[in-house]
Amino acid sequence: AQQWRGVIAEYADRLPEHVRRTVVTLGEGGTPLVAAPVLSERAGAEVFVKVEGMNPTGSFKDRGMTSAISAAADRGAKAVVCASTGNTSASAAAYAVRAGMVCAVLVPDGKIAMGKLSQAVAHGAKLLQVDGNFDDCLVAARKLAEAYPVELVNSVNPDRIEGQKTAAFEIVDALGDAPDIHVLPVGNAGNITAYWKGFREYAQDGPATRTPVMWGFQAAGAAPIVLGHPVDEPETIATAIRIGNPASWQQAEEARDTSGGLIEAVTDEEILAAHRVLSAEVGVFVEPASASGVAGLLKLAAAGCVPAGARITITVTGHGLKDPQWALRTPDGGDVQPVRVTADVVSIADALGLD
Ligand code: F0G
């Protein structure tokens, strides 16, 4: 069989010309949609997880970055900039390398997971740690791109949304139609915007007969859309979605309202509990922010709000190796201690409780 060619080649007929002309790809997309019997049982539904950590740089951002960098290359851009909680910077840095562009990234000081920081550095990005949060970084990045010859590759760039919408196509292609409900984390709200666009396009003139209901989940300490006002000092252990004033706020509300869906909050404790369920029971290792959709589903299931037997897809957005420290904590906040043994078979068997 032919190898997966990346989202632009695979979905060329559904992407604009200026994105398709000068393709910069790392083979992104084609990620697994994994059945999750444990979640299905807990929710009384049929649940699948779309494992976006399987993308080349370990997050869903690669789908939008291939299209944004390809369009920038087509326009002859030499340099790109983004604000980021980490994953966008890792992705932008990698695709900029492929395009021979300079990449500048603005990240909030001290709030970036180590894996993401190392990626941006390894790919040679000009990394600036800004004395401020993500929202401050995005304002600065937008102004920089307006005043200087640098293209902005955050999801406010419509070329990003084009690539990212392909995740919705893949889900419909895998299931044969749209799910009843699609669940995902919400931070800057680009991804919910992109999924909704993709699901709508496929229902208008593609293989889907309908669109799903969209369920988005923000972290409780960074839940501006839920609260109805910006949050000045967002706080959550899910640093990827530590965002107080999402750029695509209005589009997220539109996806929620036209789909008959909801956007709600989950606490850090609920996120970490869902993170453990995903690792220890489903077999999928994600970073904390990525578990917030699962946290939301489990919360609504416990409240009896999940329609019985519904077909539900959940995007888990980023790989666990991005931010692995959480796996080494016990539920009560202690450190996981490895069991030490001498290198002989009897003490090893003994430690394993084998007779
Ligand atoms: N999950 C992960 C792992 C993310 O990195 C992000 C966003 C989201 C969810 C939320 O997606 O912003 O489209 O609503 N990360 C951005 C970044 C902000 O800079 O990497 P969204």
**CA-closest residue to ligand 1 atom 3:** 318
Query: 40-87, pLDDT tens digit by residue?
Result: 999 999 999 999 999 999 999 999 999 999 999 999 999 999 999 999
Domain span(s) for CATH 3.40.50.1100 in the chain: 7-59+161-328, 61-159
- Distance, in Å, from the CA atom of 334 to the CA atom of 350, rounded to the nearest integer, reads 25
Ligand 1 centroid to residue 198 C-alpha, Å:
18
Ligand 1, residue 86: give the atom nearest the CA. Answer: 20
- Centroid of ligand 1 to alpha carbon of 141 (angstroms): 16
Return the number of other C-beta atoms located less than 10 Å from residue 158's C-beta: 14
The predicted pLDDT at position 333 comes to: 84
CATH of domain 7-59+161-328: 3.40.50.1100
pLDDT tier for residue 152 given thresholds of 50, 70 and 90:
very high
The atom of ligand 1 lying closest to the CA of 193 is 13
pTM of the model: 0.97
Distance 284 CA to ligand 1 centre (A): 18
From the number of C-beta atoms within 10 Å of its C-beta (0-12, 13-18, 19+), residue 343 rates as exposed
| Of 215-229, 292-306, 323-337, the least confident | 323-337
Amino acid at residue number 33: L
- Give the residues across from 217 on adjacent strands: 185, 264
pLDDT-derived band at 146 (thresholds 50, 70, 90) equals very high
Nearest Cα to Cα of residue 160 among 8, 4, 317, 320: 8
Q: How far is the CA of 187 from the centre of ligand 1 (A)?
A: 5
pLDDT in tens, 180-217: 999 999 999 999 999 999 999 999 998 999 999 999 99
pLDDT level of residue 1 (50, 70, 90 thresholds): confident
Report in angstroms the alpha-carbon separations of 168 from 59, 134, 300: 15, 27, 23
Pocket of ligand 1 (CB under 6 A): 59, 61, 84-88, 155, 185-191, 240-241, 287, 289-290, 317-318
Q: What is the CATH number of domain 61-159?
A: 3.40.50.1100
Closest ligand 1 atom to 59 CA = 3
Q: What is the pLDDT of residues 85-130, one digit of tens each?
A: 999 999 999 999 999 999 999 999 988 999 999 999 999 999 999 9
Mean pLDDT, residues 209-235: 98
Which protein residue has the closest C-alpha to ligand 1 atom 15? 240
Is the pLDDT at 313 greater than 90? The verdict is: yes
d(CA 343, CA 256): 57
Number of the ligand 1 atom closest to the C-alpha atom of 155: 13
Nearest ligand 1 atom to the CA of 252 is: 14
For the chain, percent helix, then strand, then coil, each to nearest 5?
50, 15, 35
Taking the centre of ligand 1 as the mean of its atom positions, its distance from the CA of residue 188, in whole angstroms, is 6
Q: What is the pLDDT of residue 84?
A: 98
- Alpha-helical regions (H) of the chain: 7-10, 17-20, 37-43, 61-74, 87-99, 114-122, 134-147, 158-164, 166-175, 190-205, 224-227, 249-259, 268-277, 292-302, 345-351
Which residue lies with its CA nearest to atom 6 of ligand 1? 240
- pLDDT of res. 332: 85
Q: Whose CA is nearest to atom 19 of ligand 1?
A: 84
Residue 271's nearest CA partner among 304, 240, 313 is 240
Give the chain's mean pLDDT: 97
**Closest approach atom of ligand 1 to CA 318:** 3
To the nearest 10 degrees (0 to 180), the angle between helices 114-122 and 87-99 is 10
Distances (CA, A) of 23 to 8, 12, 67, 81, 345: 7, 11, 8, 19, 55
Q: What percent of the chain has pLDDT over 70?
A: 100
pLDDT of residue 355: 85
Q: Output the CA 26–ligand 1 centroid distance in Å.
A: 20
Yes or no: say if 123 and 98 are a contact pair by the CB < 8 Å rule. no
- Overall average pLDDT of the 153-159 stretch: 97
Query: Residue 257 phi/psi, 5° resolution?
Result: -75, -45
Letter string b/e over residues 262-273, b meaning 16 or more CB atoms within 10 A of that residue's CB: bbbbbbbebbbb
- Provide the pLDDT for residue 171: 98
Best residue among 49, 127, 129, 191 to mutate for probing ligand 1's pocket (most ligand atoms within 8 Å of CB) is 191
Cα(191) to ligand 1 centroid in Å equals 8
Q: Is the pLDDT confidence value at 225 over 80?
A: yes
ipTM topping 0.90:
yes
pLDDT, position 330: 86
Q: What number is the average pLDDT over the span 246-265? A: 98
Ramachandran angles phi, psi of 58, nearest 5°? 90, 15
82: CA distance to ligand 1 center in Å?
13
pLDDT of residue 331: 82
Residue 105 Cα, ligand 1 centroid: separation in angstroms?
15
The closest-lying atom of ligand 1 relative to the alpha carbon of residue 154 is: 19
What number does the ligand 1 atom closest to the CA of 243 have?
18
Q: With pLDDT > 90 as the criterion, what percentage of the chain qualifies?
A: 96
* Contact present, 49 and 33 (Cβ < 8 Å): yes
Q: What contacts 25, CB < 8 A, 6 or more positions away?
A: 5, 6, 7, 8, 9, 66, 70, 98
